[in-house]
Chain A
Amino acid sequence: MQPLLSEECWNTLYMVGWSTLIAIVGGLPLGLLLVLTDRGGLLQNVVANKVVGQVVNIARSMPFIILMVALMTFTRWVTGTTIGREAAIVPLAIGAIPFFARLVETAVREVDGGLVEAVQAMGGNTWTVVRKVLVPEALPSLISSATTTVVALIGYSAMAGTVGAGGLGDLAIRYGYQRFETELMWIIVAILAVVISAIQFAGDHAARTLDRRGGHSGPAPRLRLLKSRRPAAADVGEAA
């Protein structure tokens, strides 16, 4: 049992690791795009924003198991197979991209619009704003978002067993639940709990270390959108 456990543990980490990486690479730009193209954003484009938003919503509303089946053709095209670890990474990553993108969107919206304005005033372009302000200032929140994504992916990866990808979740279902090895099931659940706690702890620690905002100094962060959005009369009054 021991070698089986460690092998499946490795499988889980392999699948989750790769899909997290892909989710970050894909979700970060997508999330930034959602903020930038929004009304009042630096790349304001209401149509593009609506389209991207809808695609993200649809992708997020798909139950993972259905997404996995729906993507089979694509998966085969990418990996050459529809079964095994590699094949599971494709739907895992694609399911996680919109999830992470929404979290990125929330994190980036929290960045003070004044900082964006300051960089614009010193002659920076949109790319400078993204690179020097939005990403670094949102970094602690982005790390928390990535942590949440990893934890969600570990959950999804249990279902990857249906395509023969293995992993701890799959082991728990097949041996623990279907073969009534309750003891093994609980061991796996305990292992998962430890793994998830460790990931959460590491993520929280990294986010806290990188957060230089210092909590109590300076004015309360203003929840303004990117470019100052203030056509309303009350807002003009406040800003002037």
Chain B
Amino acid sequence: MITTTGLTKVYRSRGREVTALDGVDLHVREGEVYGVIGQSGAGKSSLIRCVNLLERPTSGTVTVAGQDLTALVGRGSRAGRELRRARTRIGMVFQHFNLLSSRTVQENVELPLDILGLTRRERGRKALQLLDLVGLSDKAGSYPAQLSGGQKQRVGIARALAGDPKVLLSDEATSALDPETTRSILQLLRDLNRQLGLTVLLITHEMDVVKTVCDSAALMDKGRIVESGTVSELLATPGSELASALFPVSGTASGDDRTVIDVTFHGESATQPVISQLSRTYNIDISILGAAMDTVGGRQVGRMRIELPGRYEENVVPIGFLREQGLQIEIQGQQPELVEEGAAK
């Protein structure tokens, strides 16, 4: 749905050059919620602004819904008619909402409809429908200054949906909100994604956001995408920074003669209660030191750190059993072996 290839953005000012994007290849599938996470200055904001060409990429292409937007860029800095038409089909929500203070809630939602050339009557009807969709039909006549942050963002979302977009870009939409409001806004985005088949590309610096709503995620650092994939793909990648940040586990061995292993469940295998099977089959006591599990689409996804009695040599068979179940196992305190394994691949 959204594809960028070799996207590069270099800012020049007073002879200095800053590379905000350095050859970004992003692929967002239709109907998914895709999160790009990274620290401030990683280039997330530049990336999302390049997707609807609010920023001109220095090089590379952006394709949204099969249309090469970079080809629509004319000469000069102004957006041509074609590009503006394409933008009406891409919704965008912002961190600071960017609602016009001089217009009521309904008039704010009507603005993109006005740009699309709808009549006053049609605009009014559509705006009220959209406000209903985001649960704010009673606030149509209020001014943005009279709303709470969460309500403002709901207006922002209603406005972004006015052009019946297939794609919604979310630029830190929840970063200015408190945790509770963040959850409700994310839930709304999730619902819209399901109900309308909306593809959502969101950027955030909060891992919780990715964890709550994203099907896929990418980690950005210094203008590059370091890791990307669906949540279960990321979990299946040994040493994935995103996976360990999404599903953090901690805990250390309670004694010397213990084996601590990290078990990663990444969807396919985790339908059976493997831990209790392991315990019964080999008649061993297992302690769970830490776990970060989530149920995604009826499947358990996440990581668990467990402790088995005895040293590693004594636990080769139970560990083999877990591997047979299709689980990914990392043995803690066995780093040299892991490195060798990684190198062998």
Contacts and interface: CB of A to CB of B under 8 A. Distances in A.
Contacts of B16: 231-233
11 contacts: A122-B115, A122-B162, A123-B86, A123-B163, A139-B102, A210-B102, A215-B145, A217-B147, A236-B20, A236-B41, A240-B46
Q: Does more than half of chain B's interface fall in helix, strand or loop, or is it mixed?
A: mixed
Contact of A120 (B87, B97, B149): B87
Interface residues of B, number: 53
Contacts of B115: 119, 122-124, 128
A214 B146 contact: yes
Contacts of B226: none
A126 interface: yes
B14 to A, nearest CB: 8
Given A236-B18, A236-B20, A240-B44, A124 B98 contact: no
Given A210-B102, A231-B12, A240-B42, A122 B111 contact: yes
B41 A237 contact: yes
Contacts of B45: 236, 239-240
Nearest to B42: A240
A132 interface: yes
Interface stretch (B88-96, B131-139, B281-289, B321-329): B88-96
Contacts of A238: 40
A111 to B, nearest CB: 10
Given A236-B11, A236-B20, A121 B145 contact: no
A128 B162 CA distance: 17
A4 B344 CA distance: 104
A117 B156 CA distance: 13
A236 B55 CA distance: 13
A3 interface: no
Given A217-B145, A236-B46, A239-B45, A115 B84 contact: no
A173 B77 CA distance: 55
